[in-house]
Chains A and B, each alone.
Chain A
Amino acid sequence: MLTYTLRRLLLAIPTLLLISLVIFLLVDFAPGSPMSEIPLTVPPEVRQKMIEAMGADQPVFIRYLLWLRQFFWVEPAGLIDGWFGTSLAEGQQRIISWQTRSPVFVTIGQRIPQTLTVIGSAYAIGVLIALPIGIYSAYRQYSWFDQLGTFVAMVGYSVPTFFTGVLLIVIFSVNLGWFPSIYDTTLKVVDWDSFIKQVMQMALPVTVLALFNAAEISRYTRASFLDNLSQDYVRTARAKGMSEKTVVLKHVLRNSMIPVVTVIALGIPSIFAGAIITEQVFKVNGIGAALIGAIHANDLPMVQTLTFIFAVLIVLFNLIADILYGVLDPRIRYD
């Protein structure tokens, strides 16, 4: 297992380098200019100067190599400096966003907490409601509960979040006035009152996303559970006179969780990537909102860095999912 993991990790390096080059070229060749949001009242000479100051007029390969150096050397060195007080990255240019003229990682650092809190808890809640619904739906297949579960899952999966988001705002913020429609990122949880406030402002975005996530995962759980319920070992277990509870919650559950855990693990990078639309609707201003804003502003360093981080996470969680598979199912061995 260890050699397998190491081999996969080593193989990931060229893959990621290739991904980074492809992303860089794609973003660079996409039409548009960092100057497109600058008002027309700014004369062309001034625009040219601004582009030069950003370094955006350099040839594409020079910029790519510079980015590689900054991403793999200057930024980690800066991180080590921050931890141990060394001065490895002193005086070196970090990855600077064209929009904010500040290091890209400063923005990412500001955005990660709210993305993880909102999107992360939505994912956790989604999983927590999906599993029991999926299990019970499969156990009582075609019952009214299963039909209802299927209906809710279809609705949750097929109605886009920008619609459910705005719908919830209109009902619960505008008409009833129960929850805020705008997420306050400056709120710090220090006592009971601020905790309640935090829960209130998370309520709507988390509901929207949890519904969406739960819909997907509950379907996987149901399908996998149904597959296992008809297996021979279930009949054997029942024939041995085991209680229904032991059969379902021990034998069937364990076996049917194998593909579900993989699906859940593969979905985790999307927590870091944020939920672009939901973040926009509720103004959570997490990573997803940062990415879409950077795309609008043609902020190449920011788009490149964010998409590359997502690529790394996806490669990493694919690996984790594969390893988990082996851990859960002893029949699968990679060595």
Chain B
Amino acid sequence: MKLRTALLGAACAFALAPAAYAERGADGHVNVLYWQAPSILNPYLSSGTKDVETASLILEGLGGFNEKGEVIARLAESVPTVENGGVSADLTTITWKLQAGLLWSDGTPVTSADAKFTYDYCTHPEGGCAQAARYEGIKSIDTPDAQTIVITFDAPKPNPYQAFVGGTSPILQAAQFANCLGAAASTCTDQNFMPIGTGPFKVTEFKTNDTVSLEANPNYRDPAKPAFATMTVKGGGDAQGAARAVMETGEFDYAWNTQINPEMQAQMAAGGKGVFLNGFGTLVERIEMNMTDPSADLPEGERSTVAHAHPILSDINVRKALSMAIDRQLLVDVGYGAAGRPTCNLVPAPELYASDNTECIPQQMDAAKALLDTAGWTDSDGDGIRDKDGKKLSILYQSSTNPVRQDFQALVKGWWNELGVEVELKNIDASVFFGGDAGSPDTFQKFYADVEMYANNFDGTDPEPYLAQYMCDKIPGPSNQWQGENINRFCDPAYDALVKEMSATADLAKRSELAKKMNDMLTKDSYVVVPLVDRGRLSAASNTLGGVVLNTWDTELWNAQDWFRVK
């Protein structure tokens, strides 16, 4: 009986297997929920994920990334490489060829001039372009003919897939944005709200921070796609409400970033109307060690600067013991469930660059205690706190205000207390912590604490710029208005040399080796960065929505043209 039922079920599923790719617009309407609502559909004026991802339904680049992190062609005929001659042997130019016969959604042809215009738009000094980093290091962009785009770099560029690749760097229509250069960028409300694009959908109505109404682009390059005639991207509420709308009430087909606690994940999954999709990228929740002294006794301008080394965290044994005392698996179970996994790496992906370092995952409380004992950190005065040379192991541990982070802080504090370390916890509103205001003492860059916890990742698949953040000259301090990215104030000439070497290396195997080495230098060799959790994306898709592939390397809506209704 059971077998028969199963077979029947399988047969049904087969019979009902969707007639995907049948006809453009054949599957009616699809509802997408972005609980952080899109504010603008021009990714060059906002780098908020919600804006970039929604805009990617309309605007496309020459290439993009697939779910494995490989570069794929979008508007280009193919991906230029050194092998096919598209990238010059000295790595200073890349030549893209547009597909023949491409049209904008208004019916005009797409030409190389649009790409050149986009470059001018984003690099205009008064425009405040949010994606300017994508166009860094470009000397010039030439357009020998209407289909060809030649990008020339200042110096050899081992990773030339930055400009015009991925959702953060799409091509704008020159005709539409001609009057929006520089300071005029924000006066172009109509353009920013309803850009003309080449993607599978076009905007019919945009209500900022609320709803985007879209319809299939009549000039999309694949005549059979998209399967949906119309789409609504709705915003508002929170992650829990978004998950509920897909998993329990079934009102929506897809909900972005439904990060809810593991208990609630299980409860919602029982609703049976949808599934959670998870994918892992490069986002790592970590504890950063301050290598400089944040003591309030120091004069302002010297606190947390390289002028004074940290009294206790300068000892590698302390940093190592603190890392060993943490049970990362428990943190995942409490905070992230299916959307997280323990990690010891700063660069957890892509596979090519991920070090095989896993030794931190099992908690080693006894070994950590023994390590501190042998290093001379003992509880000499019997107050339960270890000390050495009159310095107590007492730590201020700060993070942003967020329920998961406060759970993590409490758990970690418990383990560190067990280790004999006194811990004071502090949490700071995220808008202040991440606000970067040089006048505030509470930004993560200023780091007026001994350790701090947050998450960071890198754009795209190449970790080079990310690893380069830990160079000596990127240390934040009063001289640069606290704007450096080397939060730990880590400084090692050998590390700087590796960064320089990587920037001049094109060979992938060699780059991979260098990246792993740098990752290890920051994590398991020095414990300056203590990675905790590799945080994935968690989104929810209805059982009736087919073709969804969660992509952590590009926008989540990267393949909306392939979505269809399961009938």
Residues of A within 8 A of B (CB-CB), count: 57
A residues lining the B interface (CB < 8 Å): 31-33, 35-54, 93, 96, 99-103, 106-107, 110-111, 169, 173-174, 177, 180-182, 184-186, 279-285, 289-290, 293, 296-298
B residues in contact with A100, CB < 8 Å: 39-40, 192, 208-209
**Contact B192 A101, beta carbon cutoff 8 Å:** yes
A residues in contact with B458, CB < 8 Å: 41
**B252 CB–A CB distance under 8 Å:** yes
B residues in contact with A282, CB < 8 Å: 237
12 A-B interface contacts by CB (under 8 A): A33-B431, A38-B48, A41-B459, A48-B483, A49-B132, A52-B126, A53-B183, A173-B248, A174-B249, A181-B249, A182-B237, A186-B207
Picked from B186, B187, B235, the residue with its CB within 8 Å of the CB of A285 is: B235
A41 to B46, CA, bound (A): 13
Encode B28-72 as 1/0 by CB contact (under 8 A) with A. 000001000101101001111100000000000000000000000
A38 to B192, CA, bound (A): 18
A287 to B435, CA, bound (A): 25
**B560 CB–A CB distance under 8 Å:** no
A29 to B396, CA, bound (A): 26
State the Cβ distance, B236 to closest chain A Cβ, in Å.
Answer: 4
A residues in contact with B442, CB < 8 Å: 31
A281 to B432, CA, bound (A): 26
A297 to B37, CA, bound (A): 12
Picked from B42, B47, B429, the residue with its CB within 8 Å of the CB of A32 is: B429
B residues lining the A interface (CB < 8 Å): 33, 37, 39-40, 42, 45-49, 125-133, 183, 185-187, 189, 192-193, 205, 207-211, 213, 232, 234-238, 241, 244-245, 248-249, 251-252, 271, 429-437, 440, 442, 456-459, 483-485
Q: A32-B431, A49-B129, A285-B235 are in contact. Are A110 and B483 (CB under 8 A)?
A: no
Q: A44-B484, A102-B192 are in contact. Are A32 and B39 (CB under 8 A)?
A: no
Q: Decide if the interface of chain B is mainly helix, strand, loop or mixed.
A: loop
**Contact A296 B457, beta carbon cutoff 8 Å:** no
Q: Which residue of A lies closest to B205 (CB)?
A: A186
A50 to B48, CA, bound (A): 13
**Contact B39 A99, beta carbon cutoff 8 Å:** yes
A residues in contact with B132, CB < 8 Å: 45-46, 49
Q: A36-B431, A283-B236 are in contact. Are A103 and B208 (CB under 8 A)?
A: no
Known: A106-B208, A186-B205. 5 other contacts (CB 8 A): A41-B459, A173-B248, A180-B251, A281-B237, A298-B431
Picked from B208, B213, B249, B429, the residue with its CB within 8 Å of the CB of A107 is: B208
B residues in contact with A41, CB < 8 Å: 47, 133, 456-459
**Contact A285 B457, beta carbon cutoff 8 Å:** no
Q: Which of B49, B252, B432 has the most CB of A within 10 A?
A: B432
Q: Which residue of B lies closest to A293 (CB)?
A: B209
Picked from A32, A45, A102, the residue with its CB within 8 Å of the CB of B437 is: A32
State the Cβ distance, A165 to closest chain B Cβ, in Å.
Answer: 10
State the Cβ distance, B365 to closest chain A Cβ, in Å.
Answer: 32
Q: A38-B130, A42-B130, A280-B237 are in contact. Are A182 and B209 (CB under 8 A)?
A: no
State the Cβ distance, B194 to closest chain A Cβ, in Å.
Answer: 11
Q: A31-B435, A102-B189, A285-B236 are in contact. Are A182 and B129 (CB under 8 A)?
A: no
A residues in contact with B47, CB < 8 Å: 38-39, 41-42
**Contact A32 B189, beta carbon cutoff 8 Å:** no
**Contact A186 B232, beta carbon cutoff 8 Å:** yes
B residues in contact with A48, CB < 8 Å: 483
Q: A41-B458, A53-B186 are in contact. Are A110 and B210 (CB under 8 A)?
A: yes
**Contact A285 B209, beta carbon cutoff 8 Å:** yes
Q: Which residue of B lies closest to A33 (CB)?
A: B435
State the Cβ distance, A291 to closest chain B Cβ, in Å.
Answer: 11
